[in-house]
Structure 1
C-alpha cells in the first residue's frame, strides 16, 4: 500500500510541475508579445529582434 501511495504522490507532483511549467511559459509568452508590440510601435529594431529570438527559444 505504501508503494502505491508513493507512486500516486510522485504522479501528482509531476502533474503539478507540468501545470506550473505551462503557466510560466504562457505568462512569459504574453509578456514577450507585449514587449514586442511596444518595440514595434517605437521602431526599436534591436529590441524587437532580441525579443523575437527569446520567444522562438521559449517555444523551441
Structure 2
C-alpha cells in the first residue's frame, strides 16, 4: 500500500509541475506578445526583432 501511495504522490507532483510550467509559459508568452505590440505601435524595430527572437526561442 505504501508503494502505491508514493507512486500516486509522485504522479500528482509531476502533474502539478506540468500545470505550473504551462502557466508560466503562457504568462511569459502573453507578456512578450504585449511588448511586441507596443514595439510595433511605437516603431521600435530593434525591440521588435529582439522580442520575436525571444518568442521563437521559448516556443521551441
- TM-score scaled to structure 2, two decimals? 0.98
Gaps of 5+ in 1: none
Q: Aligned pair count?
A: 60
Tell me the alpha carbon deviations over residues 3-54 of structure 1, each in whole angstroms, 9 at most, x when there is no partner: 0000000000000000000000001111000000000011111100000001
Unmatched segments (≥5 aa) in structure 2: none
Do structure 1's residue 52 and structure 2's residue 52 form an aligned pair?
A: yes
Q: Within 5 Å, give how 1:1-60 maps onto structure 2.
A: 1-60=1-60
Task: Give the alignment's TM-score, normalised by structure 1.
Answer: 0.98
Moved over 3 A (4+): none
User: Whole-Å Cα distance in 2 between the matches of residues 8 and 50 of structure 1?
Assistant: 43
2:3 and 2:47 map into 1 onto residues whose CA distance is: 52
